[in-house]
Chains A and B, each alone.
Chain A
Amino acid sequence: MAERSFKAEVEHLRKGESDVFTGEGILAITKALLENGVGYVGGYQGAPISHLMDVLADAEELMAELGVRFEANASEAAAAAMLAASVHYPIRGAVTFKGPVGVNVASDALANLSSSGVTGGALVIVGEDYGEGSSIMQERSHGFAMKSQFWMLDPRPNLPSITKAVKDGFELSEASNTPVMLTVRIRSCHVTGSFATRDNQRPPLTVAEAVANPRSDFNRVVLPPMSYLHEQDKVKNRWPAAEKFITENGLNEVFGPDEASLGIVLQGGMYNTVIRALQRLGLADLYGETEVPLYVLNVTYPIVRDEFDAFCEGKSHVLVVEEGQPDHIEQQLASYLYRAGRSVKLHGKDVLPMAGEYTGQIMLDGLTTFLKEAAPALLPGNVRAPNAEAPEIPDLSQTVPIRPPGFCTGCPERPIFAGMKLVEQELGKHQITGDIGCHLFACLPPFEIGGSTMGYGLGPASNAAFDGGGERRAISILGDGGFWHNGLSSSIGNMVFNKSDSVAVIVDNYYSAATGGQDVLSSRAQNDSKSTNNPIRAALEGVGVKWIRQIDNTYDVGRVRDTLKEALTTEYAGPKVIVMSSECMLNRQRREKPQRAAAIREGRRVDVPRFGVDADVCTGDHACIRLSGCPSLSLKKLDDPLRDDPVAHIDQTCVGCGNCGEVADAAVLCPSFYRADIVHNPGRFEMWRAGIRMKFIHWLQARRDRIRLRMDSAA
């Protein structure tokens, strides 16, 4: 089960005609899919569209009522490949994944799909993970649309526009026999708002009906000579059809006065940021009424030349607002202007930065620079000549520490990397590669384990150059999500086939945890609609791995350390794979906390562990923290003039995972840690026994206190 449940919200998806939906963008997209008679949906989770997958999974019942098939695809490639159903059948299909990494993975299927062309509307909803809060390399998905010739929508970031884009996308796809990519940015996915709903539509042809009446047509297969015809078809028929549809249906929007000497061409997703900058310059009101003409590209590919030409009519300066690089749109528009021999001055990356997110301040600065040149009279006086000096605010850049993401409190991956660090302390530094997933946090302090990440499921593959072994074997990390996504074939199969003399560690936390705790094949949970409980070990044996070690309790740091050492030093020359399994603590707490609370309420015996540190015993060297980094293991300054350095301290958010004690043992740290177990609802015998024990202990303590001096506050 995913980290966040949308069961309650999913009920809003049943809303019909003349009703209003209020909520998150992700849910609005789902509702729009149902309103537009989608026949099948799928995708692969990843920020920022993880919740879309969660919503779809939680809405499975409703979709089944409508005859809509939902697949939690094995990867983005699998999701894109599923759209093949729309090649021969007039069925609308939609898949979702993150961009551009998910688009990278899907690109093979997307290219083939684009060549074949589609009969039913095919929509790829991409959560573009770009800018603040992104967890991946900063690139754009735009280039994929250009090279494969599919269309790209980038609607204005509000719920009515996003839901309309779903409808437009399907229709555009069908009108031009071309798949359509709908991009939503990080914050658009989670933007809240309202839109007027319509009734959900049952697809005219369901996948169940289609599979009962199969079709095929070799003209749609990507094989010569048909593939040559596909290329011509794209340019001669599909592209013009798309432009016609875009123009006739007004997919792009123009705002502001008809007559002006300047204008702004912008991606739909940039609209709110542009309006805000204009509002701050006094050139637009709260509702977006603007004094500067705007040409809003809700379709960012293809660019309709006639529309652009018309917009430029009578203007001397036009600014292109296009986030990220390369500046595909600006180049395209510049070439249109040049070929037409027009003298309109085109601005873009000269006043706005080539790279990086267009934040509010950057947009304001860029627009100000543009307006200073294009129409200085429009700018308010204080912008043209600022008079008031802002007060000097002390610089905190050296004070405030960075706070990158890291392992959660009680994370079962922490002890794995503590164990690895101990091995490295003993055997020296090793060549280590990471993968995609929470375990990549290990490359940050305090562990600093692993130096690269090449893609999902590619951890061991990215160590392939070192497969020949050597004095110190290379180690690679792979998560369970990555293992099932791509790792089994690309990484493990690669190791087996090439007789790799290196070590792979598979971190199995029972979920695709980094993306929000979705189930994968090896998840231990019972899932009514998916097949879980397929062990990783069995898959490893199936592809021919002979040396496998399974650790079912990653908190046993000593065992983690010893098993790794064994893998690094064994005589066995083939691939060595260690599966380290313990449940993601975030999901475990979410699952167990209510159960535990209920058990305590019902009077059953419950043991709740938590760790603590004896401040008097701790010497403040922080060695334990350098092997942990747990948010609940922190520091405390003592009110003692004799102590210079803060001591370790465990706060009440500790979940009692046991890592602290294990690390203190395995690394021979110090005896200041203790574990306190509070037993709720103990039995009568247990209470009696505890009472006797405490009496005895008090007697011993009192006896000693009669004959010695001690500090009033000690211990």
Chain B
Amino acid sequence: MRPPAAPGVGLDGIIKLAVMAVGGQGGGVLTSWIESVARAQGYACQATSVAGVAQRTGATIYYIEMAPEGSRQPVFALAPAAGDVDILIASEMMEVGRAVLRGFVTPDRTTLIGSTHRALAVSEKVVPGDGIAKAEEVRAAAEVAAQRLILADMDRLAVERGSVISASLFGALAGSSALPFSRDAFEDAIRRSGKGVEASLRAFAAGHDAATGAVPEKGCIVATDPEPTAARLPVEGDHLAVGEADTDGMIGPDALLSDWRALRDRAAVFPVEVSEMALAGLRKVVNFQDCAYGGLYLDRLERVLICDEEARGWKLSLNAAKYIANAMAYDDIIRVADLKTRAPRRSRIEREMGLGDDQVMQVTEYFHPRAEEIAGLLPARWGRRLEANPRAMARTERWFGRVRRLRTDTFPAFTLLHFLGGLKKYRLRTRRHEVETLHLHDWLDRSLARSASDYDLAVEMIKCRRLIKGYSDTHARGLAKFDTVVNAVDLVEGREDAAQWIARLREAALQDSDGIALEGALRTVRSFAGTPEAP
């Protein structure tokens, strides 16, 4: 039984179908399936593609035309034309966008079947900040441009069923009824291809189901399978009877949990705009160290709250709650060792790698400590002395500064990291802690000093903490950028738009790793601040 011809089937029954894919996604397989089903259903069909270098991870188009077989051979085009595509299949969200951008999706005729998952382009990934393109904008445009829109995470639908995206997209095409062929005809095309048939059919069914939820007229459906939730293995000593809500995401022995509740109650009386972020921050620092450290976090936050007021929407405190927590939970060897030896981490990796019962998993960590990290781990006075002595630093680098590959599924490596991860009490006496604490005070003092005179400027200065991240060179560059931006406060202070300028400088600093955009923005600031180029 054939469903009635769908809208979009044009003159003489010709159907024009384009597949926009990223090289390596199996667009060729999808195309051959579509050809196969069309020919088997008595259609003359022509497909074209571009093979070669363009397909190496780049954007590529497959194009298919078909018309009912007759006595004469139809003349088909070899490439899609703007405004003349009946069905467009895009195998990634930005390819959906590219299809709309190129005019292949038009409201008078195009059924758009797209996958919402992202395969990020290099240009989105290399940005030190957040360079990810805005999928919402693509979705909004697709809703306007398409006659019918079917969007779902086709990649996940396929991968979860042990297949690849071409199968779920083929299923969605069948489910869309945009082609006048029955579901069986589509499935037969998969069977005829003879490779990985069972998995392909499972993914096909998932894609089909996702599409058949579609509203016949203009509309959009999105498959909303929840992320598979992590099942955490219980560890001895956990108090599982205690509800999560009661401890706000923290677990541990009873005695410590009551300390935690006391801290939590302190944060609960903060202004409602701040309390949620403060609780997240509190969790982070207690997880990093202990409840006493959490108390210190709240002390610091309360100091900010005193300088803040409701009329300002508690912006200063909200940002301080976020960035003080990040500053206090700095990335030292102890933290990394602790995180790498926790039980849930191993379970998470086992899950992600799909470890079976009859398999064994080995985990190798890549460490490359430098003399700076070793000095940071020493007691503050020793560390200071070591850092002041270049020859001793060079020697330390020679002794310790090399690649360490640690197999954390073995006794010696795990024990070493477990030991390092347990040095929390000692941590507060290390050189690193001293450096971090001094930096934090300096930053907080300088920011809060402005809170009365230029509140927005103080908020922007607090936010500059975002620039400090990474390890070794990247960390050093981040610190340098932080200093550059925060020092630029002297240039703009007193101006009405001082806060905007600091925000602009911070955003510029996040655009590239070498600080080129930041340098440009800074030149602008200097030009109107009347200061000569940096010394």
Contact = CB atoms under 8 A, between A and B. Distances in A.
16 contacts: A48-B50, A187-B79, A275-B75, A279-B75, A392-B144, A394-B137, A394-B140, A395-B101, A396-B97, A623-B513, A634-B120, A674-B349, A674-B408, A705-B235, A710-B252, A713-B249
Nearest to A157: B78
Contact of A626 (B370, B415, B513): B513
B257 interface: yes
B253 A707 contact: yes
A438 B58 CA distance: 12
Contacts of A670: 470-472, 474
Contacts of A135: 52-54
A674 B366 contact: yes
B235 A702 contact: yes
Contacts of B46: 158, 191-193
A361 B51 CA distance: 23
A454 interface: no
B41 to A, nearest CB: 15
B307 interface: no
B78 A715 contact: no
B339 A514 contact: no
The interface residues of chain B, by DSSP majority, are classed as mixed
B253 A706 contact: yes
A444 B513 CA distance: 16
Nearest to A680: B359
B42 interface: no
Interface string A327-351: 0000000000000000000000000
Contacts of B362: 676-677, 679
B79 A701 contact: no
Contacts of B354: 678
Interface in A668-715: 668-671, 673-682, 686-687, 690, 693-694, 696-698, 700-702, 704-715
B466 to A, nearest CB: 5
Interface string A395-414: 11101111111111100000
Given A48-B51, A360-B82, 4 more contacts: A187-B79, A192-B35, A622-B127, A701-B343
A408 to B, nearest CB: 6
B132 A635 contact: yes
Nearest to B232: A712
Using C-beta atoms within 8 Å of the partner chain, give the interface range for chain B: 35 or more
B161 interface: no
Contacts of A652: 159
A273 B52 contact: no
Given A191-B47, A710-B342, A693 B409 contact: yes
B78 A273 contact: yes
Given A286-B11, A360-B82, A617-B331, A191 B48 contact: yes
Interface in B9-44: 11-12, 14, 22-24, 35, 39
Given A50-B52, A661-B364, A631 B59 contact: no
B56 interface: yes
Interface stretch (A172-180, A545-553, A640-648): A640-648
A596 B508 CA distance: 48
B393 interface: no
B121 A403 contact: yes
B182 to A, nearest CB: 23
B79 A286 contact: no
B83 interface: yes
A469 interface: no
Interface string A186-205: 11111111000000000000
B237 A626 contact: no
Interface string A252-285: 0000000000000000000111011001100011
Interface stretch (A118-126, A497-505, A528-536, A608-616): A608-616
A637 B236 CA distance: 32
A451 interface: no
B258 to A, nearest CB: 11
A674 B418 contact: no
Instruction: From B46, B67, B159, name the one whose CB has the most chain A CB atoms within 10 angstroms.
Output: B46
Given A48-B50, A698-B343, A404 B286 contact: no
Contacts of A713: 230, 232, 249, 344
B49 interface: yes
Contacts of A561: none
| Those 3 A-B pairs whose CB atoms lie nearest each other, nearest first | A360-B81, A47-B52, A133-B50
B121 A700 contact: no
Interface stretch (B277-285, B482-490, B492-500, B515-523): B277-285
A405 B360 contact: no
B192 interface: no
Given A446-B126, A614-B339, A668 B81 contact: no
A629 B59 CA distance: 16
Given A671-B367, A706-B237, A711-B250, A644 B133 contact: no
A514 B55 CA distance: 10
A665 B478 contact: no
B212 interface: no
A222 interface: no
Contacts of B54: 47, 133-135, 405
A583 to B, nearest CB: 16
B138 A400 contact: yes
Nearest to B45: A192
B250 A361 contact: no
Nearest to B80: A360
Interface string B51-74: 111111111110100010010111
B199 to A, nearest CB: 13
A5 to B, nearest CB: 13
A218 interface: no
A437 to B, nearest CB: 9
A51 interface: yes
B252 A709 contact: yes
Nearest to B401: A668
A272 B48 CA distance: 13
A185 B79 CA distance: 12
Contacts of A465: none
A645 B249 CA distance: 23
Contacts of A314: none
Nearest to A444: B122
Interface in B497-528: 510, 513
A345 to B, nearest CB: 27
Contacts of A665: 366, 368, 403
Nearest to B469: A619
B270 interface: no
Instruction: From B23, B77, B365, B469, name the one whose CB has the most chain A CB atoms within 10 angstroms.
Output: B77
B387 interface: no
A249 B43 CA distance: 33
Nearest to A193: B46
B53 A623 contact: no
Contacts of B94: 400-401, 403
A709 B290 contact: yes
B341 interface: yes
Nearest to A98: B52
A441 interface: yes
Interface in B242-293: 244, 249-253, 256-257, 259-260, 276-277, 280-281, 283-284, 286-287, 290-291
A678 B132 CA distance: 32
Given A133-B54, A704-B418, A276 B81 contact: yes
